[in-house]
Amino acid sequence: MNNGRPSYPHVHQVSVSNGGVPKRPVFEAKVGKAGIEGDRQENLKFHGGPDRAVCLYSLELIERLQDEGHSIDAGLSGENLTVAGLEWDQVKPGVVLSVGPELRLEVTGYTAPCSKNGRWFRNEEFSRISQKHNPGWSRVYARVLREGVVRPGDAVEMGQSMGDG
């Protein structure tokens, strides 16, 4: 156990909102091809859809950002699944994640942070979680390969990259 957490990679928090940020924790959620039940995005040009059905972020990176003086916390930047214990620099497009007993996701890309996240950062520095400006610090989007229910504590396993060839 680390800080009272399971020692294996796992879902720390499942978060949804009725549009925009912050997203608030829920005990469990059904995840389908279109995303997480009960979750809605305000701007479908940049968020949502089958290739951006689920947004994920690292609890360890959130904690490091807090150590830097930012007020970010799980779910605040718009991620649906806050995960703990994964080597985040290995979570990149093409990687497949098995979450709990059913859910299977494929990472499709890095998320671009928007100004609505500014309030969680000192001096509105939301580009702190931009892959372009700070590689390795971005949230990621994923498509749903196999639907299922997700809960905090569910194990997360990183599988083979699907690759582009």
Residue 25: inside a domain: yes
For the chain, what is the mean pLDDT?
88
Residue 15 lies in a domain: yes
Q: Identify whether 5 is part of a domain.
A: no
- Please indicate, yes or no, if residue 3 is contained in any of the structural domains: no
Residue 59, H or E segment: helix 59-67
Return the number of other C-beta atoms located less than 10 Å from residue 131's C-beta.
Answer: 17
Q: How many whole angstroms separate alpha carbon 92 and alpha carbon 100?
A: 20
Looking at the 3D structure of the chain, how many domains does it have? Answer: 1
Q: What range does the domain containing 116 cover?
A: 10-161
Q: Tell me whether residue 1 is in a domain.
A: no
Q: Please tell me the distance from the alpha carbon of residue 6 to that of residue 15, in angstroms, as a whole number.
A: 19
Q: Tell me, what's the pLDDT at 107?
A: 97
Q: Is residue 2 part of a domain?
A: no
Taking every pair of C-alpha atoms in the chain, what is the biggest distance, in angstroms?
Answer: 42
| pTM for this prediction | 0.89
Which residue do the tokens 């703990």 mark? 84
Is 56 domain-assigned?
Answer: yes
- For residue 89, what is the domain's CATH number? 2.40.33.20
Residue 4 inside a domain? The answer is no
pLDDT in tens, 108-139: 999 988 788 787 888 888 889 999 999 999 99
CB 139 within 8 A of CB 93: no
